[in-house]
Amino acid sequence: MKNTGNIIEQVTHALSARQREIVEERFGLRDGQEKTLQELGERNGITRERVRQIEAEGLRLARERFSDAGGDRLVQVAKEQLVALGGVRKEDDFVEDMRTVLKDATVNKNQFRFLFRIAGEPMYHSESDHSYGFWSSDNIVVKKAETFIEKAVKFFGGKKEEIVFKGQFDPHFKQVVTASGIDRTVGMNYLGISKQFSVNPYSDFGLSHWEEITPKTARAKAYLILRKHGKPMHFRDIATTINSIGFDKKPVYAQTIHNELIKDGRFVLVGRGMYGLTEHGFFPGTAKDVIKQVLVDNGPLAQHEVVQLVSSQRFLKENTILLNLQNKKYFKRLDNGTYHVA
């Protein structure tokens, strides 16, 4: 099979110099940048409508030479790749698939958009608010993919905790694909074209609007890191993790993180610069407050038990805990040697 470059050369060979320039610029075949009718009109001193006419005539001439240039075989290969994955494929993935099967690392999306526009198939679907740019073998499979995506969105809607923090995506996803009569690979491929699903830096797959999947603020990123870490971290370490884990290219500063943690009740200061989450059992307050809460929750405790339980809540020296425990205004020592709230 001829490579795409040769096919393009043959189908554009009969075009006039202006037609070829317009077509190549419109599809980004020269520099990868697709030019608008307005841009080409201003460059050539003609109207947008005239540019459109020249493009249309150029495409007509190219279409006449498509089969003789070996284009039909390229279409067949492309459709086979799409059908094998359920009929649709996100554009970036489709290009990589074709590079592999054609054994040509130089082919690009602009070449495919041009050649398959001439052929009329497979079909390219431009990026929208809800989906990435993708290719399809026909319009029927697009509807099938959209229906599956809608079902998946509804199914996963109330299962964030199970999916992100309990690793239950696979069993839940199996239920969706089984009910839809498709296999897992096709199902994941369908979700791949949708902007409603995404993957976070921890490789958790879920709904894009979930803060734990697409954390947009420094506070949201800090929360996800602490949830995943499972124990308190220093705010400087949280900032370092945010900058290294690959959320985005925008750096965050330690002081910014510190300020965000202070303002959010989900975060608890448990030591000098150390923060934990209320969800992990930490509660806010001073050393005295923590001792009081421990005694209220557990009843009278021996001195060493108080130290042990308070130490699980705060990074405090033992002497600090014992000193607070001697405050008779708040705590009392019972006859059996245990301590309780006053």
Contact 306, 291 (CB under 8 A): yes
Domain count, the chain: 4
- 99 and 36 fall within a common domain: yes
Per the confidence metrics, is the pTM higher than 0.85? no
Give the C-alpha separation, 46 to 274, whole Å: 66
Q: Is residue 256 part of a domain?
A: yes
- 294 and 275 fall within a common domain: no
Of 200, 233, 248, the domain-final residue:
200
- 57 and 150 fall within a common domain: no
Q: Is residue 212 part of a domain?
A: no
- At 318, which amino acid appears? E
Question: pLDDT below 70 — which residues of the chain?
Answer: none
* Structural domain containing residue 257: 218-280
- 273 and 306 fall within a common domain: no
Q: Is residue 255 part of a domain?
A: yes
pLDDT for 115:
98
Give the C-alpha separation, 341 to 329, whole Å: 9
Contact 149, 192 (CB under 8 A): no
Q: What is the CATH number of the domain that holds 267?
A: 1.10.10
Q: Is residue 130 part of a domain?
A: no
Helix axes 184-192, 169-180, angle to 10 degrees: 100
Q: Is residue 98 part of a domain?
A: yes
pLDDT for 72:
96
Q: Is residue 208 part of a domain?
A: no
Q: Is residue 120 part of a domain?
A: yes
- 3 and 107 fall within a common domain: yes
Q: What is the CATH number of the domain that holds 26?
A: 1.10.10.10
- 252 and 292 fall within a common domain: no
In the block, which residue shows the tokens 């108080």? 306
- 291 and 276 fall within a common domain: no
Give the C-alpha separation, 67 to 164, whole Å: 50
pLDDT for 314:
82
pLDDT for 248:
83
Of 265, 280, 295, the domain-final residue:
280
163-182 per-position pLDDT tens digit = 999 989 999 999 999 999 99
The CB density around residue 68, as the number of other CB atoms within 10 Å, is 10
Give the C-alpha separation, 325 to 321, whole Å: 6
The residues, ordered by sequence, that sit 6+ positions from 177 with a Cβ below 8 Å of its Cβ are: 183, 184, 186, 187
- 1 and 120 fall within a common domain: yes
pLDDT for 289:
85
- 56 and 112 fall within a common domain: yes
pLDDT for 184:
95
Of 229, 246, 280, the domain-final residue:
280
Q: Is residue 210 part of a domain?
A: no
105-150 per-position pLDDT tens digit = 999 999 999 999 999 999 999 999 999 999 999 999 999 999 999 9
The CB density around residue 38, as the number of other CB atoms within 10 Å, is 11
pLDDT for 38:
95
- 260 and 291 fall within a common domain: no
- 10 and 105 fall within a common domain: yes
pLDDT for 131:
98
- 117 and 6 fall within a common domain: yes
pLDDT for 310:
86
The CB density around residue 113, as the number of other CB atoms within 10 Å, is 20
Across-strand partners of 276? 268
